[in-house]
Chain A
């Protein structure tokens, strides 16, 4: 490898055959898409934060920001390797030390199998893990110890998310064996209906059962304290979701464009589906319903965005909007306090999207598979049902075990007295809002600065 200089004496990049496969357009898009996926974290924090009572909004937001920080660290250390390292056997798990600290991806020679730098792919995938983990926190609003949450989500990254991501997202290539659902079963899951949506929803259900219901659940009003935050958060989520889904093409190409459009279609139809359900059942189309419906539609299109036509995406989104609007009531029937409906929206929406591929997929879409309604028979539907069920059971059981262990070792839940008075003050020593012009009168004195 020789270093060249141009006429002005500046160093030119080494002309190695491997590095030359990197495509500038693809790389630019994936850089932007990764940043969009990161934006989903604060979007989710606002979406969730507005839905809780004002006494716990900071804790709700902090669970997302805490997950963002903790998961990123673990992903760089071992998470990426567990998910995308060479398979240790049977397509179950990657080699955790292969890309430890992403060291092996530092040189351009690592960029041998994508048209983007593999280290960028590692960051993009890490942000998927961040948003999946943060989603789980919606089930335990108002009542979880912050340290216990960080401990849970850290272990969960290694034991639940990374293996599932390996099964679903790690494809075989020359010299590399990937995960079993993607390669052996033949699951179609473009951006994570199983690994992200079913996984987060099943984990949330397990954790909600372990931590128990909030004081006053099903009795006291637990109204969203700020629906404008919820709407802003939902908008940011949708914006970020274009990076999530269309970025999963890993190229700036036709597939990315089709996925972009199906993502647009499903969010819109999901919102309408939820609003129509509310209008018929409750009499009013609510803003929370509009936000929830668009998220439900986006959840369902996440696995299916590459396998549907725009019309199929409209059907998929509307179906998810209606079904999820009905599913959020299940927690009152069965008595689990999934506070912000991670189960009703993400688990149910993920199942709708993953299974729905088996019905609505069309070979005209980039994934090139026909579902039952397009004359493809039940073959693909069977693969989707198997994969979705496996991920549900695995995430539910293992997350439940992690929750029980964390609860036993350090305690998952704050005192009842503190839960009632408000978790923000006791856990973070902060309160979110000070809306009075004479706010200074609330404090009796400055106590000095801690050095």
Chain B
């Protein structure tokens, strides 16, 4: 099992969700986060005082999947979230040891 984590632009979130649905992903955890990468922040001006705002808002998705589904899911996210401009985000995959469904106590593949 793998954990697929993606940090994407907020306005691409609906596209990514739709793309994941078509490849059979039925659930995920989504958070509103902020951060920065090569894109850096932006500038805001209040009564003439200019501020460099380092953090930009992003959406983070976390999805636990079977090993054989990892590439399909990761590729679907990349294809849907891509604009080709700086700041599109990242997708990374990490190993998962155990998953337990709280309602039933099912473990691992049964719990995904």
Question: Per-residue 0/1 for A272-301: is the Cβ within 8 Å of any B Cβ (1 yes, 0 no)?
Answer: 000000100111101011001000000000
A446 to B50 Cα, complex, angstroms:
43
24 contacts between A and B (CB under 8 A): A221-B52, A221-B53, A223-B44, A223-B46, A223-B51, A224-B46, A278-B45, A281-B48, A282-B45, A282-B48, A282-B50, A283-B45, A284-B45, A286-B45, A286-B46, A288-B46, A288-B47, A292-B47, A325-B47, A325-B48, A328-B47, A328-B48, A332-B49, A341-B47
Q: In chain A between 234 and 291, which residues have their CB closer than 8 angstroms to a CB of chain B?
A: 278, 281-284, 286, 288-289
Tell me the nearest residue of chain B to A224, going by C-beta. Answer: B46
A137 to B112 Cα, complex, angstroms:
57
Once the chains bind, are A329 and B46 in contact (CB under 8 Å)?
Answer: no
Tell me the nearest residue of chain A to B47, going by C-beta. Answer: A328
Tell me the nearest residue of chain B to A286, going by C-beta. Answer: B45
A286 to B51 Cα, complex, angstroms:
14
A249 to B48 Cα, complex, angstroms:
37
B57 to chain A, nearest CB (A): 15
A439 to B63 Cα, complex, angstroms:
26
Instruction: Please report whether the interface of chain A is mostly helix, strand, loop or mixed according to DSSP.
Output: loop
B55 to chain A, nearest CB (A): 11
Residues of A within 8 A of B (CB): 221, 223-224, 278, 281-284, 286, 288-289, 292, 325, 328-329, 332, 341, 344
Once the chains bind, are B51 and A221 in contact (CB under 8 Å)?
Answer: yes
With A282-B45, A325-B48, A332-B49 already in contact, 14 other A-B pairs whose C-beta atoms are closer than 8 Å: A221-B44, A221-B51, A221-B52, A223-B44, A223-B46, A223-B51, A278-B45, A282-B50, A284-B45, A288-B46, A289-B47, A329-B48, A341-B47, A344-B47
Q: In chain B between 4 and 46, which residues have their CB closer than 8 angstroms to a CB of chain A?
A: 44-46
Contacts of B53 in A (CB 8 A): 221
A284 to B46 Cα, complex, angstroms:
10
Tell me the nearest residue of chain B to A345, going by C-beta. Answer: B47
Contacts of A286 in B (CB 8 A): 45-46
B48 to chain A, nearest CB (A): 5
A217 to chain B, nearest CB (A): 11
Contacts of A289 in B (CB 8 A): 47
Tell me the nearest residue of chain B to A281, going by C-beta. Answer: B48
A341 to B45 Cα, complex, angstroms:
15
Tell me the nearest residue of chain B to A329, going by C-beta. Answer: B48
Interface residues of B, CB < 8 Å — how many? 10
Contacts of A292 in B (CB 8 A): 47
Contacts of A341 in B (CB 8 A): 47
Contacts of B46 in A (CB 8 A): 223-224, 286, 288
Tell me the nearest residue of chain A to B52, going by C-beta. Answer: A221
Contacts of B52 in A (CB 8 A): 221
Contacts of B48 in A (CB 8 A): 278, 281-282, 325, 328-329
Contacts of A329 in B (CB 8 A): 48-49
Contacts of B50 in A (CB 8 A): 282
A292 to B45 Cα, complex, angstroms:
14
Contacts of B51 in A (CB 8 A): 221, 223
A325 to B47 Cα, complex, angstroms:
7
A237 to B53 Cα, complex, angstroms:
31
Tell me the nearest residue of chain A to B49, going by C-beta. Answer: A332
Tell me the nearest residue of chain B to A284, going by C-beta. Answer: B45
A289 to chain B, nearest CB (A): 7
A323 to chain B, nearest CB (A): 13
Tell me the nearest residue of chain A to B51, going by C-beta. Answer: A221
A286 to B52 Cα, complex, angstroms:
17
Residue from the set B44, B48, B53 with the largest chain A CB neighbour count within 10 Å: B48
A284 to B47 Cα, complex, angstroms:
11
Contacts of B45 in A (CB 8 A): 278, 282-284, 286
A344 to B50 Cα, complex, angstroms:
17
Contacts of A282 in B (CB 8 A): 45, 48, 50
Tell me the nearest residue of chain A to B53, going by C-beta. Answer: A221
A323 to B46 Cα, complex, angstroms:
16
Residue from the set B46, B50, B53 with the largest chain A CB neighbour count within 10 Å: B46
Tell me the nearest residue of chain B to A282, going by C-beta. Answer: B45
A5 to chain B, nearest CB (A): 64
A326 to chain B, nearest CB (A): 8
A318 to chain B, nearest CB (A): 18
A410 to chain B, nearest CB (A): 32
B36 to chain A, nearest CB (A): 14
A281 to B50 Cα, complex, angstroms:
12
B33 to chain A, nearest CB (A): 15
Residue from the set A221, A288, A341, A344 with the largest chain B CB neighbour count within 10 Å: A221
A224 to B44 Cα, complex, angstroms:
11
